[in-house]
Structure 1
Amino acid sequence: MKYFTMKELTKSSTADKLGIDNTPTPEASAQLSNLVTHVLDPLREMYGKAITVNSGYRCPKLNASVGGAKNSQHMRGEAADITAGSKTENKKLFELIRDNLPFDQLIDESNYSWVHVSYVSTSKNRKQILSL
């Protein structure tokens, strides 16, 4: 993990506010490391500028607290919501991932308010592209 830390992939102001322990399981930690190795670090290399992780790992209690999907990949350490600071820059991140990197899901969230990207190492990545 060259550009991202486990701390930033697990930080959550909601967890802090609610007193939720958002420590990932060993399996989720391994998946987060795979996400960084295969998607986030290469993306940062291509993009050439800082990328912020808004939401990475979410334990089940945190995921429920933020209204996440019941089977969210965030709970397995397979997903991150990222931003480069603006919708224009987030669209660039989206396109770099779509055109150059392996991914399971790539979601344009709220007209590029942020980008959701996931990567799985336990099965074939679907390359599913969505806009929500």
Structure 2
Amino acid sequence: MKYFTIAELCRSSTADNKRIDNTPAPEIREKLQTLIEELLDPIREAWGKPIRVNSGYRCPALNQAVGGVSTSQHQKGEAADLNAGDPTKNRELFDKIVEMQKTGRIAFDQLIDEAHYRWVHISYRKTGNRGQVLHL
């Protein structure tokens, strides 16, 4: 893990404020490590500039507190919401990720432009990645 840490993916001001224990179980930690190794670090390397994680792992209580859907991959340690600084930079990051997928450098389950590039959601599954590119 070159750029991102599991601790960074578990950090949450909402969890802190609501006193929610967002410590991942060992199997979730393993998925977070895979997410970093397969997607986040390669994306950061190709991007060449810092990327902030808005939201990574969310235990069920935290997921509910932030209004996440019950099927959220964040709860499984398979997703992260990224921010490159502003909507223009997030769109550039999104386009870079699509290019990396098209050239076979990475595979992802879902890449989602959230709310006109307010942030970029990306997820990864060990098997069965769908390669979906969505705009919500």
Q: What TM-score bracket applies, with the shorter chain setting the length?
A: over 0.9
With the length of structure 2 as denominator, give the TM-score of the two structures.
Answer: 0.94
Q: Structure 1: which 5+ residue stretches go unaligned?
A: none
Q: Distance in 2 between matches of 1:124 and 1:108?
A: 21
Q: Structure 2: which 5+ residue stretches go unaligned?
A: 101-105
Which residue of 2 is the match for residue 95 of structure 1? Answer: 95
- RMSD (Å) for aligned C-alpha atoms: 0.7
1:114 partner letter: W
Deviation at 1:115, TM superposition (A): 0.1
Alignment equivalent of 1:107, drawn from 112, 121, 125: 112
| Structure-to-structure mapping, 1:38-57, within 5 angstroms | 38-57=38-57
2:130 partner letter: R
Q: Distance in 2 between matches of 1:28 and 1:120?
A: 12
Q: Distance in 2 between matches of 1:60 and 1:47?
A: 31
What secondary structure, in the 3-state scheme, does the structure 2 residue paired with 1:33 have?
Answer: helix
Runs of 4+ in 1 over 4 A off after TM superposition: none
| Structure-to-structure mapping, 1:77-96, within 5 angstroms | 77-96=77-96
Percent of paired sites with the same residue: 57
Alignment equivalent of 2:131, drawn from 113, 127, 130: 127
What secondary structure, in the 3-state scheme, does the structure 2 residue paired with 1:31 have?
Answer: helix
Which residue of 1 is the match for residue 36 of structure 2? Answer: 36
2:135 partner letter: S
What secondary structure, in the 3-state scheme, does the structure 2 residue paired with 1:39 have?
Answer: helix
1:124 partner letter: G
1:6 partner letter: I
With the length of structure 1 as denominator, give the TM-score of the two structures.
Answer: 0.97
Contact 1:106 1:115 in 2 (8 A): yes
Q: Distance in 2 between matches of 1:117 and 1:57?
A: 12
Aligned residue pairs: how many?
Answer: 131
